[in-house]
Structure 1
Amino acid sequence: MIEVYRGSPNAWETDEMGHMNVRFYLAKLMEGIGVFCSKTGMPNAFKSNAPSTVKLKELHVRFVKEAHAGVPIFMQAGVIETHVSSAKIYMQLNHLDGSPCAVFRFELEHVDIHTGQAFLWSPKTAEIFKSIPAVMPEILAPRSIPMDVPPKAPPTMDDVTRIGSIQIGTGMIMPDQCDVFGNMRTEYFIGKVSDSAPHLADALEVDMTRSPRIGEADGKRIGTAALEYRFAFQNLPRSGDCYNIYAGLAHVTGKTWGTFYWFMDPVTHMAYATLQATLIRFDLDTRKSIMPPPDAFEIMQRAIPQGMWL
């Protein structure tokens, strides 16, 4: 495994839960991918004059231990398997003592910058990939959102209407949210979903919101956090493109519940990306997970549409 990031979260990268927001996990992941490319024979992959680059096809994130402002973290990367024009990569974001903060499993595709078509890795890159195998502890494997089931066909707005998915977000992609190629940066997929998610929870009129709440009975400060995310990327939005975000219930199990999110193009009625998240309620003072309020899951199952997919 090779090191691809070393730094620490900034105070402005933390959120109302008191830890680094999910958006910035992906921002640091993308930094790591850039360094990974540079160290594997593709130093120009993210420059504006690059003949080729890499794009994410699919991504799984598992959050393990919170990252806090000013606390050092570093990330290592290794190759799971290599194909003709794509590769599956493992990256592990660690605290300074080596304990895992988050783990990322994803597929990178090598593409021509002008045509978007996938093509062969260079012999040099393919050879380097062989020398850096991923070391993946079994304890850090995906748990609630498996990776062995491939994503289904992307949804359309007809699917949104048929299911009755709840619209929780809308907006436009700004120039400063895009990369050198004009595409929205990856971290804004999860960032915009994170910003929109409270609309789903607050609409239920049950204490399952992402926003910190103080319980009426015991005075505890309660919040909601993500445990896992999985993404399937379709068509990347560009500066000036508008979007709508729709949500539906995936599952309820024990202390956790799952949500699907569809990031949709309101003009073409096609999907930019589909996401699945597993969430949990936790005490903001003890930093421990807790059970949801009585009947919360029953209310969610009655109020939130089901039938969406990744």
Structure 2
Amino acid sequence: MEKDVYKAFVVREKDGQFNANIETKKTADLPQGDLLIKVSYSSLNYKDALSASGNKGVTRSYPHTPGIDAVGTVQTSDSNAFKPGDKLIVTSYDLGMNTHGGFAEYIRVPAHWAVRLPQDMTMKEAMIIGTAGLTAGMSVQRLAALVNPEHGDVIVSGATGGVGAHSVAILNKLGYSVVALTGKENEKDYLKNLGAKRIILRKDFEVSEKRPLLKPAFAGGIDTVGGSILDNMIKSTQPMGAVACCGNAASAQLNLTVFPFILRGVALIGIDSQNYPMHQRQKVWNKLACDWKPEALMNNYDEIKLEQVPEKLDLMLKGQLKGRTIVNLAG
């Protein structure tokens, strides 16, 4: 039953300063959309931390409610695709960026942003996986079309981060020999528990290398950080291998020649998780619910209430938050 009012995490701007509080809002004031959804869970992502701190590259105008992930139950529907009572996942598109996001008890969104919650997945599991796991799934899906487990090692950068950790776990489950690349030397045991067969430290891999090609070492890779890491990953990929690129935290620049592509036939695959085609998105979610479910990560999460979101986002900005953090909005 729809409520007239609900709780939401709201960021407001005043005199160039940004402050966040839990506020009582009216459902009537939600943006236009086909679906009114009562949110059961959301999750914390780095984009949410940027939005909450006033990053105008993520969110243009305030007041605003972040939360790029949400899962919940349809309350009212103006779409033939969904009916009240349906359980849906909403991630990506503009949710939580410039559209009222999942850090609230209710959201209203266009129907084409929503994916049905797979039968073999709980709402909590959906948010433990979240955008990070979905992006990893997209990367694995595209990479697996070109690189088989028998082709050799597959390297994953940013391996302790959300996308990286999910990628390691999924690839391991599919029988790949995974090499985890990380800047965190004290997380080797964690990565091995996820399924990494070998660990490479970032400081040993990201050295600027002017040679156009390096010794072939990997059948493929998933890169989450960009910059010299991606440069060297491509240069180290064996003939007819492939690298999926889904992040640019280190840099958006590539410093390469065309030689890896025309002398070794290496493929560079771009992953756009924000606008990934819906029919493929549903396929990935269905795989994550069953064959690709990263069991090693399903118990590695922190569950918080809406009131704890400000504290956790601050820790995330400081690089002090490990693993997934999900927000329980169901009470």
Q: TM-score, normalised by structure 1?
A: 0.26
Structure whose residues are more often helix by fraction: 2
Structure whose residues are more often strand by fraction: 1
Q: TM-score, normalised by structure 2?
A: 0.24
